[in-house]
């Protein structure tokens, strides 16, 4: 009995402290290319005062650009101070390209004005079904940001019969995919095939929190209360076009530590 209690205490301590780990994970390293730091789903989490620990680790990577694939805040948030502190410092490190996640879309009316004012005060490039072009050492990247219809996340107060995204939907929101190297930021990874079919060379997503609980490397649950969600964490290949899914930073999780993802493309 005593061994069981010791094991239970160790497990509980690990479960608590794991949520404040902050891993730097390197994926898609193809030599000396453009270095991208990918962040997602901070929600209410704070890594050090004003998210100083998070920003310090990002700064150490010396990225060319930072991509934040949605849910900087939670819909129930009542103060933006920690999120803004992180955003302000990240913008000092490198250009930040970001989109709305489902939580920014569903934030309370009371906080919406404060959220928009925060984005007005800072230097991030917010892409709401918009695009921009960046030239890094002579290499041109076209960066698009997709704001999915909220019905892909929740509908009529529940998770049944959710909307889907296909190539036609992406084209309706963003236009035809241009020639050249195209990066897409799309919060929801479940439509990775559609993003690839549209033509994105790299799509950056989050939302699934790595599956919330991972057992033997398998994602257990999605935010939509679905078991064994696909595309929960890692790099997925669709005929040479990549879906890059971050497990994110915030929300409770188990065997799935918060992560900063670094890519060289």
For residue range 43-101, list pLDDT tens digits in order: 999 999 999 999 999 999 999 999 999 999 999 999 999 999 999 999 999 999 999 99
CA-CA-CA-CA dihedral for 20, 113, 222, 264, to nearest 10: -60
Tens-digit pLDDT profile for residues 17-39: 788 889 999 987 766 689 999 99
pLDDT of residue 14: 73
């994926």: which residue's tokens?
A: 27
CA-closest candidate to residue 118, choices 139, 100, 132? 100
| Strand ordering across the sheet containing 234-238 | 130-136, 139-146, 181-186, 202-205, 241-245, 234-238
Give residue limits of the domains in the chain. 21-264
Domain range 21-264, CATH architecture: 4-Layer Sandwich (3.60)
């Amino acid at each position: 009995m005593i061994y069981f209690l010791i094991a239970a205490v160790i497990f509980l301590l690990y479960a608590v402290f794991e949520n404040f780990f902050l891993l730097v994970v390197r994926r898609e390293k193809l030599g000396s290319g453009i270095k991208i730091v990918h962040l997602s789903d901070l929600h209410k989490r704070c890594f050090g005062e004003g998210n100083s620990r998070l920003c310090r680790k990002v700064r150490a990577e010396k990225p060319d650009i930072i991509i934040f694939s949605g849910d900087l805040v939670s819909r129930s948030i009542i103060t933006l101070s920690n999120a803004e502190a992180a955003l302000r410092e990240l913008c000092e490190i490198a250009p930040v390209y970001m989109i709305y996640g489902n939580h920014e879309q569903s934030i309370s009316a009371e906080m919406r004005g404060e959220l928009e004012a925060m984005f007005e005060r800072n230097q991030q490039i917010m892409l709401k079904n918009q695009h921009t072009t960046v030239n890094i050492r002579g290499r041109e990247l076209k960066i698009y940001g997709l704001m999915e219809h909220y019905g892909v996340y929740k509908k009529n107060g529940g998770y049944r019969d959710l909307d889907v995204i296909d190539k036609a939907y992406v084209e309706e929101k963003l236009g035809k995919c241009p020639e050249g190297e195209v990066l897409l930021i799309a919060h929801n990874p479940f439509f990775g095939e559609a993003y690839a079919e549209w033509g994105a060379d790299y799509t950056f997503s989050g939302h699934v929190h790595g599956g919330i609980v991972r057992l033997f490397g398998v994602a257990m649950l999605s935010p939509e209360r679905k078991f064994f969600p696909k595309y929960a964490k890692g790099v997925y290949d669709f005929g040479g076009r990549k879906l890059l899914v971050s497990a994110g930073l915030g929300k409770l999780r188990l065997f799935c530590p918060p992560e900063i993802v670094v890519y060289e493309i």
